[in-house]
Structure formats: C-alpha cells, structure tokens
Amino acid sequence: MSKESANSFDSRRWPGCRSAVGCNALVVATGVRPRRLPGTEGLRGVHHLRTLDDALALKKRLRPGGRLLVVGAGFIGAEAAATARSLGLAVTLVEAAPVPMAHAVGEEVSRALARAHRRHGVALRTGVTVDEVLGHDCEFTGLRLNDGSEIAAPDVVVGIGSHANTEWLRGSGLLLDNGLVCDEFSSAAPRVHGVGDVARWHNPLFGVPMRVERRTNAAEQGLAVARNLLAPAARQPFAPVPYFWSDQYGMKIQAYGHLPGHEETAVVEGGLRSDRFLVAYRRGGRIAGVVAVNMPPKTLRPWRAAIAAHHEAGKYHSPGGEEC
C-alpha cells in the first residue's frame, strides 16, 4: 500500500470529490475487505466471508456428509473449519505457515491449536500454498497445491487476510500504510480521525502502531474519538489492551495484549495438551499479553489489569497473587 506524506487534510484535493460536504471533523471508519484468492473470480462455491449475506450463502451450502476446503488457518478459517466439522462435513484446512495462527499467538499455542484441529478430524495441511484453483462450468471443483497434490471439494472458504478500504483516500494527502496511519489520539491529520479496522494508530501502551480487526476495538475507538471531539481540551490517547476471542471445538480462546514480537512465553495454568490453559507472553521484561483457553473471567481479569499497568513479568506469578 502506498505511503503518502501528509500533515493536513483538504477535501478539495480528493480526486473523486464532485460535491463538497462541509464538516468540522471527519471520522474514517471504512473497515477492510477480504483478500481474494486469485483464480476464484466468477466461480460458484467460493466463499469470502465479510457480510451476513456471505455467511448465509455459505450456510446454505454446508450439508452433513459434504466436503469443505478452507484456505488460511487464521481466525476465520479456523472457526469455519470447526463449524463445518460440527455439522458433519469432511474438512481440509490449508495453511501456508508451518502451524496455524502463529503470527497471532506464537508457535507453542499454535501447535496446541493444530492438535485440536487434527483431534476433531480436520485434515490440516500446513506449509503448502495454492498453485491453481480448479473449476468447471463456473463451479469451483478443488485446488492444486504447490506440492503437486489436488484436493476436490464443491466449496472453499478463503480466509487469507484483508485489505484496508483506503483507496478512496488516495490523493487526499493522508498517510496510508496498511490502513489509515493515526497518532495516539486516533488522529490522521487535524480534524481527521481513524476508527476501527481501517485505523493503524499508535497505541502508547505498547509503543507500537497497530491495526486491530475486532468489533470491541472498533466500538471503543469510536467512543474515544467522539469524546475527544466533544472535549478537545481534555483529549485522551487511545491506549487499550487489545482483546480477542474465538470459539473453536468447544474451546473458548481468549487473548489480551499485543503478542507479536514477544520474547518468551510461559504456561502458567493448565497444560498445552489439555483443553484448559493460560499462557503469558513477555516482551522487554513486561507482561505483553496472555492467551487463555476455557478460563473463567475471574482468572483473566487480573492479567488484563497487569498488562494495562505494564507490570514486570517477574517469575510469572499470577497477578492475582497466587504463585502458579
């Protein structure tokens, strides 16, 4: 995505702007769209999930005893695979990385999630990419992978990431780089703010820019921007502890914090071979985040507080006080 230098915003410079709409401030909340798998254009049976209609179209095609291919073992792919298995479909999950979701949760937890997929009967194919999309008469029929193998199925869910919807801002002078680049106040330029999936803002709690694709974050950032717009003299930086959850095979996976770039992990409750554990992540001597599976809120709350308070990692004692 292009980087454009900008300090100021002027709607008259927008190439597509035919009529002027006056405003005191602009909030950019145009979200993201799914990355498409090349070669899938115009084929029935190819599903990119973003809207309710996308989900309903997929639901109609999932029949017990059927087959489903899933490309990409991120949240969307992993949840689609788990749901399809629970409905009685044979599922093959194809992932380019050696383990699923490693970029999000690190290798140890990724391996635990890979074991869960396999235990529930998913054919998990990691370290392979799609060489060719196969189709006949406008119907998807399968995939050829880069190891030469072919997998046949009438449907494929493509969950290979997203593009930020920022094309409409090209030429505006705003800085675009994997989203709308914003400072710690979610501000991209005087009186221009980014909110939700599209915003890559500097989170001062972790000292890094981040773009968080979560509904909870979009809502909180929207509230924070609105407050700052209404009371500019008392404006506050947006410094949340990012949170996500994912439901897969009866496992409630929850994570707090910013996990990429962590230096060390420690299992502080349960075990990675069980369906109940809590893993803490350390970066720069601080607790950067936790991932928990099937843990009650009362266990997670003190960890969230410790991340927000920038607690030192110490020996990974539970922030609640008990030694783990």
Ligand X SMILES: Cc1cc2nc3c(=O)[nH]c(=O)nc-3n(C[C@H](O)[C@H](O)[C@H](O)COP(=O)(O)OP(=O)(O)OC[C@H]3O[C@@H](n4cnc5c(N)ncnc54)[C@H](O)[C@@H]3O)c2cc1C
Angle in degrees, CA 81, 291, 289, rounded to 5: 135
Listed ranges 25-33, 37-45, 186-194, 225-233: which one lies at the site for ligand X (CB under 6 A): 25-33
Q: Which of 27, 105, 110, 197 contacts ligand X by CB under 6 A?
A: 197
Residues between 53 and 92 that touch ligand X (CB under 6 A): 76
11 belongs to the binding site for ligand X (CB under 6 A): no
Q: What is the DSSP string of 251-295?
A: EEEEEEE--TT--EEEEEEEETTTTEEEEEEEETTEEEEEEEES-
Question: Rounded to the nearest whole angstrom, what is the least distance from the CB of residue 181 to ligand X in the complex?
Answer: 16
Residue whose beta carbon is closest to ligand X: 196
Long-range contacts of 112-120 (CB under 8 A, 24+ apart): 112/272, 112/273, 112/277, 112/293, 113/78, 113/248, 113/253, 115/273, 116/248, 116/249, 116/251, 116/275, 117/73, 117/78, 117/81, 117/82, 117/93, 117/249, 119/249, 120/82, 120/85, 120/249
Question: Rounded to the nearest whole angstrom, what is the least distance from the CB of residue 256 to ligand X in the complex?
Answer: 13
**x-marked contacts with ligand X along 37-56 as a string, rule CB under 6 A:** ------------xx------
240 belongs to the binding site for ligand X (CB under 6 A): no
Give the H/E segment covering residue 114: helix 107-119
Angle in degrees, CA 74, 76, 77, rounded to 5: 65
Listed ranges 182-190, 209-217, 227-235, 313-321: which one lies at the site for ligand X (CB under 6 A): 209-217
165 belongs to the binding site for ligand X (CB under 6 A): yes
Q: Which of 196, 242, 257, 289 contacts ligand X by CB under 6 A?
A: 196
Q: Which of 6, 30, 73, 193 contacts ligand X by CB under 6 A?
A: 30
The DSSP letter of residue 165 is: S
Identity of the residue, 175 or 268, whose beta carbon is nearer to ligand X in the bound complex = 175
Identity of the residue, 116 or 218, whose beta carbon is nearer to ligand X in the bound complex = 218
Spatial distance between the Cα atoms of 223 and 240, rounded to a whole number of angstroms: 12
Identity of the residue, 45 or 196, whose beta carbon is nearer to ligand X in the bound complex = 196
115 belongs to the binding site for ligand X (CB under 6 A): no
Amino acid residing at 264: E
Q: Which of 35, 67, 163, 214 contacts ligand X by CB under 6 A?
A: 214
Task: Give the list of residues 6+ apart from residue 312 with CB closer than 8 angstroms, or none.
Answer: 285, 286, 287
Q: By CB under 6 A, how many residues form the interface with ligand X?
A: 16
168 belongs to the binding site for ligand X (CB under 6 A): yes
Listed ranges 36-44, 115-123, 210-218, 280-288: which one lies at the site for ligand X (CB under 6 A): 210-218
Strand partners, 134: 142
216 belongs to the binding site for ligand X (CB under 6 A): yes
Whole-number Cα distances in Å, 251 to 40, 275, 295? 32, 7, 10
Which residues form the interface with ligand X (CB under 6 A)? Answer: 29-31, 49-50, 76, 165, 168, 196-198, 213-216, 218
